[in-house]
Structure 1
């Protein structure tokens, strides 16, 4: 039987992540004999030889942590691996200290005489083979000056808080948190020589960390950093490695170093991932940093933030419970009883700290009150009254980089596969959102959000032109446009180049159909979007049921002519509605053969 390249590649990746052959067979369905044949034919064992025993044990431990169901043999293997890793760390530490001590001892006369002739050759060789990503010889004061130039006050406060082992930051959107922590990690790696591990909701977010750091290296020292998922840098403090990982449990390996977890309130299965992340920073020299905009109080990370998780342990031990500091105390930054340094930075705190990048009055016009509070004032969503709960939406968040048939950098990212487009217009001051969705190829399959475009204060012609550009990139087979109010102008322009565009006129019946269709798709696990697009689940969670003045049931999300809300969610629903509610009962085409 011939297997697709994707299947072989998946088996190879699992094997290199220290999955056993029986485990690969269970996950992929490929026969054991075939997997062993590929191991020999493609020399996969040779690829494993580049790892140290410590890396090998850590990689296997990460695989076991990520397994949904574990046997007694798995738990026993976990215990053995943890013991082995502790011993290997101790051995490596002692070896490093011995080498350092020997390098500081003066050489005897015989060594000097024996080495005298070879020194010029060694120097020439060293010049010819300069180490990659080498920052040796740069003074610590120079690094600190580069780092502090241009920082806002609240960012320097985060630098001072590095003395705490665990930092937990609840923050407003767009205050530069990812930018700051990438900057901090790079400077600290040069100054202290410790590894850094970045965990993000998706590959795209992990790449943002890497791009920032490569930008700092170029800007500060005119040095082009080489590397993608792993970058090794040399400095006077030693050799440190920067790891850029997504939150997929199969790729978040058990490396060791300071860990940074970005937008953790939007990461599915946070508790399981945090177990792996904590193992990476087990040694007391390492620090853990968590930062995120808030999602819903029902998220599994909320007890971690609110100290409920800490108090639950104390409750089981019959110990007195601790109180969570108040909002005002957290805005100042405070070390809490559970050992975490917590801080809240709202958009108002950022402005008071010197950030002049926002027009807050304008933002309050662009967003509804609830949405503004969640996005910019660090208020959690209570999704108990929402039509879409976080528990429903979490399984939809995936890493878009895992889609092998979608290549966003290509001229035709999705080849000739069909796509549907949903458009939600801008009102007086809010943004328009365009969503590109790949429909399922068969009944009951998954919808995938390939692309999401937000346009702020753009003219109708520009919005229509953006949709026109998408028709050149994709094989567009449906465009749904809300023509209630300002969407009419865009619709008229779109019809000039896409006459089949579908107008959507909002009414009680239309909104009910949109919401019911979306609930059916989401509750049945038929929707996927990139985990970094937090505005999609936030928009869905803001939609609630209400009644009109005449008593009719309808759905609202604080939408009005002045304030738009849940734009990404409505735009997505405009695309989903192209599939009928009763799609499973759609008549299948048949050929009649005459007698």
Structure 2
């Protein structure tokens, strides 16, 4: 039996964690067979290090794996093109616009668009890429507001309040790659979870391949031939220490413990040559990032306080503040006015309540005092699942083995979404719940929605399903009852809503639930829930729910799943869940 060095085993592990198959790993590392990879994975418990993903993360991960393969098949190239187009769409970028930029880049090199016959370049060799090529692609690829970000690239600190899905992560990935090529400077990307940070990596690898036929390689980081390093780290990860370079932090208003994040940024960008860029959809003014956005940090130690202008009108085109921070606000309407025609704004208004639309797309801060949940408590439940969870194996036929799970379902009304949440209940009394899977469904028939729940019962050891059977949910409830007779109907009333909210408050405030930090829609949904009164002056809870607006569907679905644990859990005689072997 052949013996392999620790370097080979480490390389195999890194490939495995990028979800490459055992056969692909064996082929790339010239191993005798794929069986040895399975043996290493079992011995090192590599599967326990894998994590749950969003569509964007799964697309990024698969794209990175395919592009890094040294020998690609025709099917690989077809899948790379398909995934690249999907990633463009997820970033809010027109595929035809990206294709035009690619063709222009090829023309600037005097080549055909397909680039066939070109000699393979050395690893990460960017020596042939010119500033003129980069400028031509940038001008073709991005919108006016993104060009404004580039014009202010040399500001020491930029802080951008933005709408969802206007291509901020996409643009800053390009900006960092362009700067690394031209200057040789390091670039550091910081997100709430490692998988979220690696979306930057997927874009960068995609840019290099599509526009320069360059196959960038690098597991923990990418080092270009001019010495520039591009690193992708997590606020919760142990790797977010000791690096230096130009610093990018996304969704900072949804990152727990912003003060610690800002300290990391300050450490990475201590030298005057390094720049810092923060960008995010807003949350609430009580979040730690607001002290920086609103100038409170600057005024804290000053006797003569300075007024900061923070209106949309003043910041629409960007403004350098007294603290030397360049601030910019880009709403969805700004993006549309400046060339981005990817949105149906009226449809988004239908699909979201007015407060939710204003928060997600118009850069309005949520009114924290109106919610019955505190953002700080919600963000404390956000974790980096790659760092914390060791027993959830997303790619397995049974991702959570035979451990029990509970499911909550919230139906769709006209225009809003239905949501399904899968949670892992505590395996011992007083333990933590974990959100393993989240499905949001729009414009789908109730039969189709019920089929998704059925698939989950085949994938997990489901012990409880709570379905809101009020109104549109009744059809789903009856169909689920056909394949899961023990499904629990939840009929909404004042008492039911009160119990659901009180249970969620208890679990969240005591820190007994976890979800991956990239699920920013979970705290956003809980923040929509507020206390109100009925016509009889009875206290109840609502989330701007009407027949034509969205409501906090993800939050209600999670609450339906949590409802299987009694309000007074201390009276339970047995553990709330046991793992079956």
Report the TM-score when normalising by structure 2. 0.76
Q: Please list, as runs of the form range in 1=range in 2, the aligned pairs for 1:7-18 lying within 5 A after superposition.
A: none
Tell me which residue corresponds to 2:381. 396
Preserved contact between residue 229 and residue 245 of structure 1 (Cα < 8 Å): no
Aligned with 1:226 (options 214, 217, 239): 217
Task: Determine the structure 2 residue equivalent to 1:321.
Answer: 306
1:320: Cα distance to partner? 4.3
- Give the structure 2 partner of residue 286 of structure 1: 274
TM-aligned CA deviation for residue 150 of structure 1: 2.4
Cα deviation, 1:407-438, whole Å, max 9, x if unaligned, reads 22333221111111111111111111111111
Match in the other structure for 1:263: 251
Q: Per-residue CA shift, 1:165-204, capped at 9, x if unaligned?
A: 1110000111111111112111221122111000001122
Query: How far apart, in 2, do the equivalents of 1:289 and 1:409 lie?
Result: 34
* Higher-RCO chain (CA-CA 8 Å, sequence separation at least 6): 2
1:147 is displaced (CA, Å) by 3.0
State whether residues 296 and 380 of structure 1, in contact with CA within 8 Å, keep that contact through their aligned partners in structure 2. yes
Deviation, structure 1 residue 540: 1.1
- Secondary structure of the structure 1 residue equivalent to 2:264: helix
Displacement of 1:151 after TM fit? 1.0
Question: Which residue, out of 469, 476, 488, partners 1:502?
Answer: 488
Q: Determine the C-alpha separation between the residues in 2 that align with 1:171 and 1:219.
A: 27
| Residue pair 1:330, 1:344 contacting (<8 A) in 2 also | yes
Residue among 313, 323, 342 paired with 1:357: 342
User: Number of residues paired by the alignment?
Assistant: 458
CA distance in 2, matches of 1:451, 1:561: 27
SS at match of 1:517: helix
Contact 1:166 1:288 in 2 (8 A): yes
> 1:187-226: per-residue Cα shift (whole Å, max 9, x none)?
2211221110000011221121111111111211222221
Task: Describe the superposition over 1:55-74 as per-residue Cα deviations: whole angstroms up to 9, x where unpaired.
Answer: xxxxxxxxxxxxxxxxxxxx
Look up the match of 2:5: none
Q: Which residue of 2 aligns with 1:174?
A: 165
Alignment-derived partner of residue 484 in structure 1: 470
Judge conservation of contact 2:246–2:276 (CA < 8 Å) in 1.
Answer: yes
Residue matched to 2:553: 567
CA contact (8 A) 1:254 1:277 kept: no
Cα shift at 1:572: 0.5
Query: What residue in structure 1 maps to residue 47 of structure 2?
Result: none
Q: How far apart in 2 are the matches of 1:395 and 1:229?
A: 27
Q: Distance in 1 between matches of 2:458 and 2:434?
A: 19
Structure 1 residue 368 corresponds to structure 2 residue 353? yes
Q: Give the 3-state SS of the residue equivalent to 2:279 in structure 1.
A: strand
Match of 1:537 in 2: 523
Q: Please provide the CA RMSD for this pair.
A: 1.9
State the alpha-carbon separation in 2 of the partners of residues 217 and 479 from structure 1: 46
Q: In structure 1, what is the Cα distance between the partners aligned to 2:310 and 2:392?
A: 46
Query: How far apart are residue 133 of structure 1 and its match?
Result: 1.4
How many Å separate the matches in 2 of 1:410 and 1:160?
46
Partner of 2:132: 141
Which residue number corresponds to residue 434 of structure 1? Answer: 420
1:339-358 → structure 2 map (5 Å cutoff): 339-358=324-343
Shift of residue 326 of structure 1?
2.5
Superposed CA offset, 1:37-63 (max 9, x none):
xxxxx9xxxxxxxxxxxxxxxxxxxxx
1:310 aligns with 2:310: no
Alignment match of 2:450 (pick from 464, 472, 484):
464
- Are 1:515 and 2:506 counterparts? no
Query: Match for 1:183 among 174, 189, 205?
Result: 174
2:233 paired residue number: 245
More helix by share: 1
* Aligned twin of 2:84: none
Which residue of structure 1 lines up, in the alignment, with residue 260 of structure 2? 272
Provide the rounded CA distance (Å) in 2 between the counterparts of 1:464 and 1:146.
46
Question: Is 2:294–2:310's contact at 8 Å kept on the other side of the alignment?
Answer: no
Does residue 407 (structure 1) correspond to residue 398 (structure 2)? The answer is: no
Max radius of gyration: which structure? 1
Which shows bigger deviation, 239-248 or 405-414?
Answer: 405-414
SS of aligned partner of 1:162: coil
CA contact (8 A) 1:210 1:228 kept: no
Q: CA deviation at 1:250?
A: 2.7
Which residues in structure 2 correspond to 1:417-432 (within 5 Å)? 417-432=403-418
Report if aligned partners of 2:449, 2:476 keep a CA contact under 8 Å in 1.
yes
Paired residues of 1:147 and 1:187 also in contact (CA < 8 A):
no
* CA deviation map 1:375-404 (0-9, x unaligned): 111111121232101122121111121211
Q: CA deviation at 1:132?
A: 1.9
* SS at structure 1 position matched to 2:419: strand
TM-score, normalising length: structure 1: 0.75
| C-alpha deviation, 1:163, in angstroms | 2.1
1:524 Cα deviation (Å)? 1.1
Q: Which runs of 5+ in 2 are unaligned?
A: 1-9, 11-43, 45-118, 576-581
Cα distance, 1:525 vs structure 2: 1.0
* CA contact 1:419–1:478 (8 Å) conserved in 2: yes
Residue matched to 1:153: 144
Cα deviation, residue 130, structure 1: 7.0
> What secondary structure does 1:546 align onto?
strand
Whole-angstrom CA distance in 1 between matches of 2:451 and 2:372: 34
Does the CA contact (< 8 Å) of 1:296 and 1:381 recur in 2? yes
